[in-house]
Amino acid sequence: MEIASANHEKSGPITRGLAWLEIMLGKFKAKVIEVARKTKTVGQEDPRRIIHSLKVGLAITLVSLFYYFEPLYDGFGVSAMWAVLTVVVVFEFTVGATLGRGLNRGLATLLAGALGFGAHHLASLSGEKGEPILLGLFVFLLAAAVTFVRFFPRMKARYDYGLLIFILTFCLISVSGYRDDEVLDMAQRRLSTILIGSAISVLICIFICPVWAGDNLHNLVANNMEKLGSFLEGFASEYFKKSGNGESKEKKTFLLGYKTVLNSKHSEESLANFARWEPPHGPFRFHHPWKHYQKIGSLSRHCAYRIEAINGYLNSEIQTPPEIRSKIEEGCTKMSTECGKALKELASSIKTMTRPSSAETHIANSKTAAKNLKSLLKTGMWEDIDLLEVIPAATIASLLVDVVTCTEKIAESVDELASLAHFKSMDPIISPEQPKLHQETTQPSSSIDKLHHVITIDGSPPDCPGKEHPLAPMTV
């Protein structure tokens, strides 16, 4: 019995250790599977991310050659590391962002290097005692002034990174020059390596699977409008319960798409700023009105705020009775459906860069429905009805009227963009297989000719006189 008890005591810790190890291995395996799943999801959401990662790796490998090859290292020395650092901080996802950071870094380094060398030269003229005092004064004045300039909205939006590099470079050159006499040589080597790193980043970003910020902004604004249109087209059937009563919420994604529009301001501002740095590409030429996309995006968000309020009444605890809803059903359905069609038409117009053809018709129909609904609400139809039951329906009607106004403003803004960006006009094309009938009456020369009419079947133009055409006019 004592031997069995001893064996049990010895096997107990081993068993527990093996069980703990098995649990830890299971957790590790689950963690690895979760990371792999997330990695796959990130790559599938936007395959351009994988390509961007490979491009960054290629750029860093190329600038690393300054260290690997002896002739290049002898020419730049330790300053070659600035080329690697430049690629790391400059290379961005879009071409516009990379160009902006590259130009900001290159120009800031050039100007700050020149000023730093000049400050060092002026300070050296004051002697050994006055040189550190003047250098400290120069650093204080320039750092304070440039930091204050960074608070200006326009400068912060486009040149904030360049101003930051300007302060850093000026301080490094002017301060380090106090202990190092080769200030000019140091500034030249650093400027050369930074320009090389920026150039390699920009060239790889442009010529290898480029991602244009202008394209992203163009599609973002159009997709946001399309999401608003999808909600408005499906809202009436959902609110008035025409169809889809048993449909699950997962399938009604059109009711949630507008939420991304509410948070798109920062993305639109960033993409518009980056797009201004980009060269002409695709259908976008010099001086493309990128700033106007922000105006359309702002109007779309105003519309999305109304839709957010409307969506709150879909699952509200206080529901309007069906008999009251039926009184405003026709007007609300007409407004939401026509506005949805108009927004989708405007989104398609932006995507294809063509002038909208039928958006004005849909907007006119929605304005007519809004006018009729206003007249209906002003009548005495709400007497002998509980006010709390009327408020939700009246609020939705009022919000839809506001949506009609927002849609009209969006249409005006899109039309302005079409004029500034020279969108194409889609002229109606008449198929040659569908001949048109033209009826003409000849001038009567006699009483008999008054009974004669000429019916021309449109084909090819008439031939020369004296030659009979296969589709010649027939006199009846």
Within a domain: 429? no
* Higher-pLDDT residue of 393, 232: 232
Global confidence as pTM: 0.79
453: left (phi over 0), alpha (psi -120 to 50) or beta: beta
Look at the chain and report how many structural domains it folds into.
4
| pLDDT value, residue 442 | 38
Distance of CA 58 to the CA centre of its chain: 27
**Contact by Cβ (8 Å): 325, 293:** no
Distance CA 29, CA 295 (A): 50
Q: What is the CATH number of the domain that holds 284?
A: 1.20.58.220
Q: Each residue of 443-475: pLDDT tens digit?
A: 443 333 433 444 443 444 444 344 443 333 333
Tell me the two tokens of residue 262: 């509410």
Name 308's Cβ contacts closer than 8 Å, sequence gap at least 6. Answer: 258, 259, 262
Within a domain: 425? no
Tell me the percentage of the chain whose pLDDT exceeds 90. 44
Distance CA 456, CA 364 (A): 38
| Mean residue pLDDT across the chain | 81
Q: Each residue of 19-53: pLDDT tens digit?
A: 888 888 888 889 999 999 998 888 888 899 999 99
Q: Give the DSSP letter of residue 317.
A: S
Q: Do residue 190 and residue 253 come from a single domain?
A: no
What is the arrangement of strands in the sheet containing 454-457, beginning at the earlier edge strand? 437-440, 454-457, 474-475
Average pLDDT over residues 248-255: 61
Dihedral in degrees, nearest 10, Cα atoms 148, 149, 155, 161: -70
| pLDDT value, residue 6 | 52
Which stretch of 73-87, 309-323, 383-397, 438-452 has the lowest confidence by average pLDDT? 438-452
Which stretch of 70-74, 227-231, 373-377 has the lowest confidence by average pLDDT? 70-74
Whether 252 has a pLDDT exceeding 90, the answer reads: no
Whether 364 has a pLDDT exceeding 90, the answer reads: yes
Average pLDDT over residues 245-272: 78
Q: Do residue 193 and residue 342 come from a single domain?
A: no
| pLDDT value, residue 367 | 92
Q: Do residue 272 and residue 400 come from a single domain?
A: yes
Domain that holds residue 31: 2-43
Q: Do residue 244 and residue 289 come from a single domain?
A: yes
Q: Do residue 165 and residue 218 come from a single domain?
A: no
| pLDDT value, residue 117 | 82
Q: Each residue of 172-186: pLDDT tens digit?
A: 888 776 555 566 777
Phi first, then psi, for residue 53 (nearest 5°) are -60, -40
Within a domain: 262? yes
Q: Do residue 58 and residue 182 come from a single domain?
A: yes
Within a domain: 223? yes
Q: Do residue 243 and residue 273 come from a single domain?
A: yes
Residue 9: pLDDT band with limits 50, 70, 90 = low
Q: Do residue 404 and residue 318 come from a single domain?
A: yes
Average pLDDT over residues 155-168: 92
Within a domain: 426? no
| pLDDT value, residue 174 | 80
Distance CA 186, CA 184 (A): 5
Name 369's Cβ contacts closer than 8 Å, sequence gap at least 6. Answer: 330, 331, 334, 335, 338
* Higher-pLDDT residue of 357, 389: 357
385: left (phi over 0), alpha (psi -120 to 50) or beta: beta
Q: Do residue 147 and residue 271 come from a single domain?
A: no
Within a domain: 280? yes
